[in-house]
Amino acid sequence: MKILLATQKPFAAAAVKGITDILEGAGHQVVKLEKYEAQADLVKAAADAEALIIRSDKVTAEVIAAAPKLKIVVRAGAGYDNVDLEAATKAGVVVMNTPGQNSNAVAELAIAMMIFMARTQFTPATGSEVQGKTLGVQAFGNVGRLVGAKAKALGMKVKALDPFLTDEQIIAGGAEPVHTLDELYEGSDYLSLHIPALPSTIGSINYDLITKMPKGATLVNTARKEVIDEAGLEKALEDRPDLKYVTDVAPDNLAVLQEKFGLRVFATPKKMGAQTAEANVNAGLAAARQIVDYFATGNTKFQVNK
């Protein structure tokens, strides 16, 4: 089978080699499209692909329509909001992710971002310590649980909200369960977002929620930019000069936020949460193995469009 590895943000060389070895070792052919500039490049490259490995690359209805031989797309990572699931399902294309494989990298970045903001972006201005502060984790999945564990090791109190988990599961994960967003936001000096971008979550982190946070609080977003109501965030930062926002997914109004709020806002230049050699290897090789297994045995364990 012809497998296209399409990564606008390329994997580390070790991951690319590992992916290639696994796929070629199983008799497949690997074609690479890395650092491409235009979506049209992906549409063109996918034309004769039977499988795709992607990261945040956009597998739109156009890509799927242009790839009549396509049978499977594996998003090497957790969030699959970049894949048009409806178009894939209609075309009979299986879509999978590789849950958990890059979680530690994202969790480490969330912790790093908290400390970076606590220390006023590493300027000499007097900062604060995270020890003794409360971290609220919104969505206690693979990443959220790791952030919680690392925060506890730093001496933080950890609370978590997750409508898909029982109190017992949250407690077993090392956090105190809370049951409403208001309660979570009101009690969190740091609030780390780990929700996916879904119709129900897009724009859900709004002015009302953000301004519920206590004095001096910081909102940490290593999830998706779409979950933030950007106008609401701007107004919250305006009305509450004590609040801070740090994100791995730059908002559309970043320039305005930086101009207005200076060191209270920080965004990474490009999403880098999962950009470690380890995460690249874990997620990339898992994706390759899932493709080999799917073609060999029909295994759809990680399919997200069942």
Contact residues: ligand 3PG, CB under 6 A? 9, 55-56, 77-79, 102, 271, 273-275
- Cβ-contact 4, 31 below 8 angstroms: yes
- Residue 102 or 204 having the CB closest to ligand 3PG: 102
Q: How many residues does the chain have?
A: 306
Closest residue to ligand 3PG using C-beta atoms: 77
- Give 134 or 280: the residue with its C-beta nearer to ligand 3PG: 280
Considering the complex, what minimum distance in angstroms separates the CB of residue 171 from ligand 3PG? 26
- Within 10 angstroms of residue 18's Cβ, the number of other Cβ atoms is 19
Nearer of residues 56 and 138 to ligand 3PG, judged by Cβ: 56
Do residues 115 and 130 make contact, with C-beta atoms less than 8 angstroms apart?
yes
Q: Least separation, in Å, of the C-beta of 272 and ligand 3PG?
A: 7
What's the min distance (Å) between Cβ of 13 and ligand 3PG?
16
CB 126 to ligand 3PG: min, Å:
33
> What are the Cα distances from residue 295, in Å, to 20, 57, 88, 300?
16, 22, 17, 10
Report, in Å, the least distance between residue 79 CB and ligand 3PG.
3
Indicate the residue among 104 and 134 with the shorter CB distance to ligand 3PG.
104
Buried b / exposed e over 242-273, threshold 16 CB at 10 Å, is ebbbbbbbbbebeeebeeebeebbbbbeebeb
Of 54 and 151, which has the nearer Cβ to ligand 3PG?
54
For residues 253 and 257, give the distance between their C-alpha atoms in angstroms, rounded to a whole number.
6
> CB-based burial of residue 210 (10 Å sphere; 0-12 exposed, 13-18 middle, 19+ buried)?
buried
Residue type, 44: K
Classify 156 as helix, strand or coil: coil
> Which C-beta is closer to ligand 3PG: that of 212 or that of 225?
225
Q: How far is the CB of 216 from ligand 3PG (least distance, A)?
A: 28
